[in-house]
């Protein structure tokens, strides 16, 4: 998948969950969505973008990947 599209999709998910009043629930919501609905290849590609320092990702996406790593 195109990296720009992947970033845009992840940011939309994060923007949706960012509206939640509890920050922890927002991070958990993003992580759960990525785990349940994204193919492993998509998550791996997004992880590579995060590791490369992708500046356009919503902060909740970064936090969600930290949570996913902690759960693994």
**Number of structural domains, the chain?**
1
pLDDT in tens, 21-43: 999 999 999 999 999 999 999 99
Q: Which domain holds residue 67?
A: 3-71
pLDDT in tens, 50-70: 999 988 999 999 999 999 988
Q: Is the pTM of this model over 0.85?
A: yes
Q: How many angstroms separate the CA atoms of 37 and 54, rounded? A: 22
Rounded to whole angstroms, the Cα distance separating 49 from 61 reads 11
Other beta carbons within 10 Å of 41: 9
What pLDDT, on a 0 to 100 scale, did the predictor assign at position 22? 97
């Amino acid at each position: 998948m195109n990296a720009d599209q992947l970033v845009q999709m992840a940011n939309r998910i994060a923007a949706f969950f960012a509206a939640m009043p509890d920050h922890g629930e927002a991070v958990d919501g993003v992580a759960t969505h990525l785990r349940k609905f994204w193919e492993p290849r998509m998550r791996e590609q997004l992880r590579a973008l995060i590791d490369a320092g992708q500046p356009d990702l919503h902060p909740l996406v970064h936090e969600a990947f930290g949570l996913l790593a902690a759960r693994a």
